[in-house]
Chain A
């Protein structure tokens, strides 16, 4: 899996987003053990302290949990993962809607267009 960091955004934030995405997409499965902080830091080419604080934040958000001796794991709570999917979907939709409104589409036009496009893409 590739890590790509953009300029001018705290790396901490970008790690949280990337890890969240990996958990949501199932790249890291429910209950799976995560690589160590050092290995993740090496893989991403980032400072281990930054990786550590990003993982601590994911833990605070309930997406991962740690066991004292054996490391960090992806949550097994279906509710948390379901909520994560909803939150992400909402975020993406908001971004899309905002852009479409900017070019002058109404809510109704957007709804119709989304339906049409989905069929096209399929």
Chain B
């Protein structure tokens, strides 16, 4: 059974079709890049996988189940904007995650927070944009989940932190999990990806192994992306 199964998934917002008959199967043990320009449906797809939106047609299955309480237990989600109570400080947010998620590894979170120089006593709302993002990522990656849904995890951070985040994703990678990273900053992350999915106007236009793309086209994923999505 595939870790994630997406069947004929369509999502409409009024007259706008955000996702159009998307079908995908994602096996465990891989890091997948969900790539597409702004407005291509990346966030909508991730929100459906996480149960924050419901499909207009079709369905998605995680470990064979539709998104709900059971799947939230095994899905670690990094939203594209902060959803945490920002009056809390780092320590309190770690406590919160520990209360909510049985798969949360506190030591891992504390180690990451320390590595990134985030103040345990600082309130989230007083942190810079980049630090907020780092903290959220620490919390999400410290879970030992089956599925990681990371919506634009590297958008607002400096290159050194970007490297740290990518190393964190690699070091947390395990054979039982699937990590989905949505981004348009492809050149920064393409070396860590197994498979890439190109989304264009709500449709999957490509789903392939990144190494196969480099092998066959002699281009980086980034170069191929620029061709497919040339404006």
Q: Which residues of A contact B (CB under 8 A)?
A: 5, 7-12, 38, 41-42, 44-50
Find the B residue at minimum CB distance from A5: B191
Cα(A45)–Cα(B170), bound, Å: 8
Find the B residue at minimum CB distance from A9: B214
Check: B82 CB closer than 8 A to any chain A CB. Answer: no
Q: How many residues on B have C-beta within 8 angstroms of the other chain's C-beta atoms?
A: 23
B residues 157-207 with Cβ under 8 Å of A? 163, 166-167, 170-171, 173, 191-194
Q: Is the CB of A12 within 8 A of B211?
A: yes
Give the 8 A-B CB pairs with smallest separation, nearest first: A7-B220, A10-B214, A8-B219, A42-B167, A10-B215, A10-B211, A8-B218, A46-B191
Interchain CB contact (< 8 A) of A49 among B29, B163, B219: B29
Q: Is the CB of A47 within 8 A of B222?
A: no
Interchain CB contact (< 8 A) of A42 among B30, B170, B210, B217: B170
Check: B223 CB closer than 8 A to any chain A CB. Answer: yes
Task: Provide the residues of chain B in CB contact with A7, threshold 8 Å.
Answer: 219-220, 222-223
Q: Is the CB of A45 within 8 A of B163?
A: yes
Task: Provide the residues of chain A in CB contact with B192, threshold 8 Å.
Answer: 45-47
Cα(A8)–Cα(B220), bound, Å: 4
Task: Provide the residues of chain A in CB contact with B30, threshold 8 Å.
Answer: 49
7 contacts between A and B (CB under 8 A): A7-B220, A8-B217, A9-B214, A11-B214, A38-B171, A44-B191, A46-B191
Task: Provide the residues of chain A in CB contact with B222, threshold 8 Å.
Answer: 7
Check: B31 CB closer than 8 A to any chain A CB. Answer: yes
Interchain CB contact (< 8 A) of B171 among A10, A11, A42, A49: A42
